[in-house]
Structure 1
Amino acid sequence: MSVPYSMEIDPDKARELAERGGTLLLLGVPAGTAVGIDHQMFLSGPKFCGVKMVPPGPHMLTYYSVASSPGGFSAPNVRWLYLSTSQVTVLRWNGEVELLDELTDEDEAGRYAQGVRRFDFDAGLAPYNLPAWPVWQEIAGRVTSDLIERIMPMCGTASVVAEAQLAEDTAAEVQLEEQLRARSASGEDGGPSTSSPVVSAAAMERLGRCRYTPIPIKVARPGMTPAEITAANLDRSAALERLVREGYGGEEGALLGEFQMAFANFVVGHSLAGYAQWKDTLHLLCTSSQAANGPSADVLASFARILRKQLQVSLTPGSKTSQGEGMLDATPFGVPMVEELLSASFLRPLLSDWFEDLDGCVTLPQALRSEATKLRDLLASRLGLEFGISCLEEDEDDEYAPVVVDM
């Protein structure tokens, strides 16, 4: 849960921000429901009816519905929105399924929007924490309206509960879920617990899972020779280029935007599918060393910056940093990621090999070298991890290990 904040704004300035900013009008939300926008969280009271002064751009709405049985609790529900200047989005609480629904009557929605513009609901609208907006831009700034429409389920609301119904968890996801349960039970992350969520059958029909783009992990196509398969899996630069071309229509920014969505869905929405997509994308980018000297070098530089910002807001509070940006203490961001950086995790050896590859590039572009250095310095100052040389022996059971085919 986010840190309490207060805003001192001149009345005229506040009115201007309310008129120009977007508004999320939430009707009928029961008191005591946790409602979040981006990485800010509100505990709704009897007068709460949404958030005002919302900057234009991508936003993530999460809410933890009231438990439907004694001792029960609910899993996070997630909606992504892309608001334009002065846009009013109206959602109404559906008590039967404990979900927020869009208004089907356009005239009714229009009347509520006019009421917002007349400031009829102003007393119940919480102001968006504008000083925290730059942090969210770093976390989700690549997310577009087209990407939201393509990735989010057709029903509009994603939930880890729907993920559990549609697919079996991998061993890594099972371990991650156990960590989430333990942390939620102890109250460390300030969010809802995800173990044994109480969800009605009617609500289950209204929940879905994100439709992420499949990421190639093992590269093997018909007609490839053993040597070609080995080479393609030692360096996945060709697979990265093919994914951008065929999976994202040539838009490299969409790959980074989906990487951002997956991360936010994981740390805020406790999505195991989001974790898997984030992990697979990270692995693909870190094993595309030839791309560092090609047209995709800028993508790798942007990736390094995005990953650094993700880790800055999700490493365990209290870690020391030499970056001086103060992002962590100002904005606790859901699930701490320290477990993912321990010696037994995938991330430490993966980044170690990636830094080695980059160190071996004589003509490494300056932007990529700069961002990779900042990322390496962050990991050293926060966690005491020194990268640049191999720090782990190969794991024979690693599902992401390069594929070597005997001749």
Structure 2
Amino acid sequence: MDPATQTNCVLMLDLPQLALGGIDLLSFTTTPRFHGVKNIPPGLHFVFTASDASLSIRHGAWFYVSPGTGPPQVFIKKWDSTTEDFIAETSQTEVMRWKANLGAIWKDGLTPYRQTVDSSDSGREGDLIEESTDWSQLTSRITPTSLSRITGLNPDHWSLTTASSATQDLENIPGIELSASVLHPEKELNFLPIDLKRTWREGATGSERTEAAQDRSWALGELIDKHCQGDDVRVRESEVLGELQFAFLMVLTLNNNSCLEQWKRLLGLLFTCRQALKERTRFFHELLKTLRLQLSHCADMEGGLFDMNEYGGGFLKPLLKKFRKGLDGFNGRWIADIIDELDDLQDYVRQEFGWELDDFFVKRGMLELEDGEQVEMEVNGIDEDEETGEYAPTIVELTPAQMKELERSDVSYARHDQQSEEEDDADLEDMDTRF
């Protein structure tokens, strides 16, 4: 085979028969003749697999194809049946051997990137389904630097699995038991730290805490300035969007629950900012475009983790409604782009999910029944959902005496909690002594 006709490719070797395989938004069932994917364009890509198409644990790895006119790049991944893990080939002897023998598998063993095969045809390379061509936009802000921070420094094999998790999410992975990680410990994900229960500066009291809880712009600024990398503020802002993209795609391809929780935390932070809208207008404009594209792929998700048609639209619908309502207090040309992009998003969710983000409610009116009779109806609960009327939040200023009493209560609770832990430890020691 003429080396000049070769292009960038990734080899996926030793996969079990009829295993699940995938690259980016393309998924397929493998056959014995399948060895990988060719004609891969420059940029970041993600390959994933599982020993069975129905198995809950999936393994995947990111790699980067450099642009340019140099020799074709070959990435070699393989399934380790001993540890049931998807690993990079580290033996230089094996790497050179596979590169030298690419011609033998190029035509029939490697499927072209983005190829589709008629579902009625079993195909020599498996049943491929092309789901989208949006990959470059869905990964526009993900960088090798952010991948190294989240998954560890392992260039061209930034790996994780369905069970990989941030520390704060370890106890909240449905369907994953500890026994699933007996063969090898699961990788810890190092996400940007977000605590939606504490979004104010240290030492803040009273109204300052209340305002920071309602407008989380300060928390967003702290996240960007202290935890994102880069000398330029726009580079640091892009890292936040990149993590939002990473989290979404890892839910989409791996069903990773910890990434779903981080995706929700990021949106919960970003869409509760007000002052930051004026300070970071371009950032929020791109955020809305990113979310609009992500929502268009929610239907691709298996298992219903992105079920947006449920009653109330999950957590996202009320979040967007409050964000929309918060824009009413702004004036000026700077807000026009954000409103235009939000209008596009609103039109999309109305058409696809039936959501209404505007507060146009008829609380009381006449309803005509099937037999022609008219009855007066009243809708309850709107004030409660929208936190208006008697349900509107109020700011309460505490007196110095009340502040001291609150501090004493916190100390007392902490001592009680510590005492309970000590008693539990003592009980365990007694059990060890008896048994």
After superposition, residues 230-249 of structure 1 pair within 5 angstroms as: 230-249=210-229
After superposition, residues 355-366 of structure 1 pair within 5 angstroms as: 355-363=324-332, 364-366=334-336
Give SS of 2:357's match: coil
After superposition, residues 151-300 of structure 1 pair within 5 angstroms as: 151-153=150-152, 156-163=158-165, 167-170=169-172, 177=174, 199=180, 201-202=182-183, 204-205=184-185, 207-217=186-196, 218-249=198-229, 250=233, 251-294=236-279, 296-300=280-284
Describe the superposition over 1:56-86 as per-residue Cα deviations: whole angstroms up to 9, x where unpaired: 112222211249xxxx944111222222243
CA distance in 2, matches of 1:119, 1:303: 46
Higher RCO, 1 vs 2 (CA within 8 Å, ≥6 residues apart):
1
Structure 2 CA distance for partners of 1:230 and 1:198, relative to 1, 3 Å: closer
2:318 corresponds in structure 1 to: 349
Structure 1 residue 247: Cα displacement: 1.2
CA distance in 1, matches of 2:286, 2:331: 20
1:373 corresponds in structure 2 to: 343
**Which of 46, 55, 63 does residue 60 from structure 1 map onto?**
46
1:76 corresponds in structure 2 to: 58
Structure 1 residue 370: Cα displacement: 1.9
1:143 corresponds in structure 2 to: 142
2:432 corresponds in structure 1 to: none
Structure 1 residue 341: Cα displacement: 5.6
Give SS of 1:338's match: coil
Structure 2 CA distance for partners of 1:80 and 1:405, relative to 1, 3 Å: farther
CA contact (8 A) 1:59 1:80 kept: yes
Structure 1 residue 402: Cα displacement: 8.8
Q: Which amino acid aligns with 2:32?
A: P
Structure 1 residue 216: Cα displacement: 3.5
Give SS of 2:163's match: helix
Structure 1 residue 404: Cα displacement: 6.0
Structure ID, larger Rg: 2
1:328 corresponds in structure 2 to: none
CA distance in 2, matches of 1:339, 1:263: 14
Structure 1 residue 164: Cα displacement: 9.9
1:34 corresponds in structure 2 to: 20
CA distance in 2, matches of 1:273, 1:370: 32
Q: Which amino acid aligns with 1:261?
A: F
Structure 1 residue 157: Cα displacement: 3.2
Describe the superposition over 1:92-122 as per-residue Cα deviations: whole angstroms up to 9, x where unpaired: 2211112222122234323423433x46443
CA distance in 1, matches of 2:242, 2:393: 26
Structure 1 residue 209: Cα displacement: 3.5
Structure 2 CA distance for partners of 1:102 and 1:264, relative to 1, 3 Å: same
Structure 1 residue 223: Cα displacement: 2.1
Give SS of 1:268's match: helix
Give SS of 1:257's match: helix
2:421 corresponds in structure 1 to: none
Aligned length: 343
Describe the superposition over 1:181-204 as per-residue Cα deviations: whole angstroms up to 9, x where unpaired: xxxxxxxxxxxxx566984622x3
CA distance in 1, matches of 2:146, 2:393: 30
* Percent of residue pairs identical: 27
2:98 corresponds in structure 1 to: 112
CA distance in 1, matches of 2:274, 2:220: 11
Q: Which amino acid aligns with 1:201?
A: V
CA distance in 1, matches of 2:340, 2:308: 26
Q: Which amino acid aligns with 1:376?
A: Q
CA contact (8 A) 2:56 2:162 kept: no
Structure 1 residue 340: Cα displacement: 7.0
Give SS of 1:48's match: coil
CA distance in 2, matches of 1:285, 1:166: 20
Structure 1 residue 208: Cα displacement: 1.4
**Which of 15, 19, 24 does residue 6 from structure 2 map onto?**
19
**How well do the aligned residues superpose, as a CA RMSD in angstroms?**
3.2
Unpaired runs of at least 5, structure 2: 116-129, 361-381, 399-435
